[in-house]
Amino acid sequence: MNTMNTFRVAFFVFAKVYVLAVDLNHTEPFRPNIVMVMSDAFDGRLTFDPGSKVVQLPFTKYLREQGAVFLNSYTNSPICCPSRAAMWSGHFVHLTQSWNNYKCLDNNATTWMDLLQSNGYHTKSLGKLDFTSGSHSVSNRVEAWTRDVLFLLRQEGRPVTDLTGDASTMRVMTKDWKTTDSAAQWIRHSAASLSQPFALYLGLNLPHPYRTDSLGPNAGGSTFRTSPYWLKKVSQQHISVPKWLPFSEMHPVDYYSTFTKNCSSNFTEQEVKDIRAFYYAMCAEADAMLGEVVLALQDSGLLSSTVVLFTSDHGELAMEHRQFYKMSMFEGSSHVPLLMAGPGVKAGLQLAQPVSLVDIYPTMLELAAVPAPGGLSGHSLLPLLNQSAALLAEPRPDWVLSEYHGCNANASTYMLRKGKWKYIAYADGLSVPSQLFDLSNDTEELHNVASQFPAVCQDLDKVLRSVVDYPTVSKQVQSYNKQEFSAWRQSLGGNYSSTIANLRWYLDWQRDPERYEKAIDEWLKAST
């Protein structure tokens, strides 16, 4: 049976069993199996129209049609480790103190998967977890610690594309495919024979850009790699070329990010379109991995009793706002996919309520009929999925919070999305100007209207401060950065100057090493 026919069978089986699904609100709780697929750097706007028209994503479309898609779902921090720490713990970043890709959850932190396991679920985690400390490069850490230093250095590789294989090359990201195969094999060979419900987590690297090997061992991910097979899934006529503000009109933090991400030089229109096309093709490959899991559930007769969830840790700018990567509150970076389908989830729902990754923790617990601990930052999504206001144990906030404290942004950043507004505050709220975007009229986020709507900013800032005392948190991060950098420098002894000069900013640093070392000394002496 070919892939399309198999998919049609899966669609028919899912639709048929959905009618027979046990309602999640029945007096005797039904405990479904749970499968969560979490990709990396997947732009959530691609999972619904008009964004979905640019690339063929049949399995995210399948989940959308047979279940629910959240139209305004956000990361709690637009970078890998802090975002995943929030998802696994159910707590905002300023509570976990996951300040960067190096400092995240403690190894003994209790995740929702831990609670499911201790309450009768068989649990299985495969692939990228990335929510504990220590797995990222020294260069990445130093760049995060020194972001307040008064210098401007290119830290990332310039974004490039790399076409590999031919029209039959389906498996470009072989590491992810190997992990996905393991997940599908476990479903087929082990899950069906279990006497208890199971929870399976699959973490993917795609569509995160690949490491650029030519830039050495400290290189970040600046290579967008795919094959002709996946490029055929991209609709070239729907690829937009994003508008860029002139450098003189850019917000100072956005300018800093553009420069450190090595995007300040000239790009041709074709370069930009190629980067975006290759990124979309990488998303198509990730979608196929999701599909392998869905088909394994169908083949094993488990689809009718399994809730499937697809999301990502953050998005990808793909040259919007003259940037690639994440680390930004612009939609391409902060808006993530969130789709759920399975027993008890009404089909064809498109939900506009703002939600975020911290909502996954209480949702998983409620699915499993496990009492949620107090003090969680998120709220279960099940009342929204059942469209039952009566099920709300407490009022759901009409806003979401995202924050960022890592590299490539020279100030702690706090985003509040509420209604049509996106409000972004920085640092102490005074030293760096805030931003306000009306997403109903400015989907490209090119017009900061903060000065035109001071009352709106004041109201949103009040809400933001009721959630997080962000000036105090910013000071905590600044103190942490100085302490960590000082300890690292001391550990190097006489090797400090040569080591710091040869991190991934070496091309700029080595032009004037004495100047940059002096800037760091002055930063360390300044009071926080």
Residue pointed to by tokens 């405990």:
31
Which residue in the list 80, 104, 263, 407 is annotated as catalytic? 80
Asked if the bond preceding 50 is cis, omega within 30° of 0, the reply is yes
Per DSSP, the residues of 187-207 read: HHHTGGG-SS-EEEEEE--TT
Contacts of 501 (CB under 8 A, 6+ apart): 509, 510, 513
Measured in degrees and rounded to the nearest 5, phi and psi for residue 228 equal -60, -30
Asked if the bond preceding 207 is cis, omega within 30° of 0, the reply is yes
Q: Cα–Cα distance between 272 and 152 in angstroms, integer?
A: 24
CB 303 within 8 A of CB 10: yes
Q: Cα–Cα distance between 21 and 3 in angstroms, integer?
A: 26
Listed residue (423, 414, 416) closest to 470, CA to CA? 414
Listed residue (394, 299, 372, 382) closest to 342, CA to CA? 382
Q: Cα–Cα distance between 370 and 7 in angstroms, integer?
A: 33
Q: Cα–Cα distance between 404 and 402 in angstroms, integer?
A: 7
Q: Cα–Cα distance between 172 and 381 in angstroms, integer?
A: 34
Count of CB atoms situated within 10 Å of the CB of 482 = 18
Q: Which tokens is 413 given?
A: 């950043």
CB 199 within 8 A of CB 360: no
Q: Cα–Cα distance between 323 and 400 in angstroms, integer?
A: 24
Q: What is the DSSP letter of 38?
A: E
CA angle 293, 299, 302 (to 5 degrees): 75
Measured in degrees and rounded to the nearest 5, phi and psi for residue 154 equal -70, 130
Strand order in the sheet with 349-351: 122-127, 198-203, 33-39, 306-312, 338-341, 68-70, 349-351
For this structure, is 80 an active site residue? Answer: yes
Residue positions annotated with a catalytic role: 80
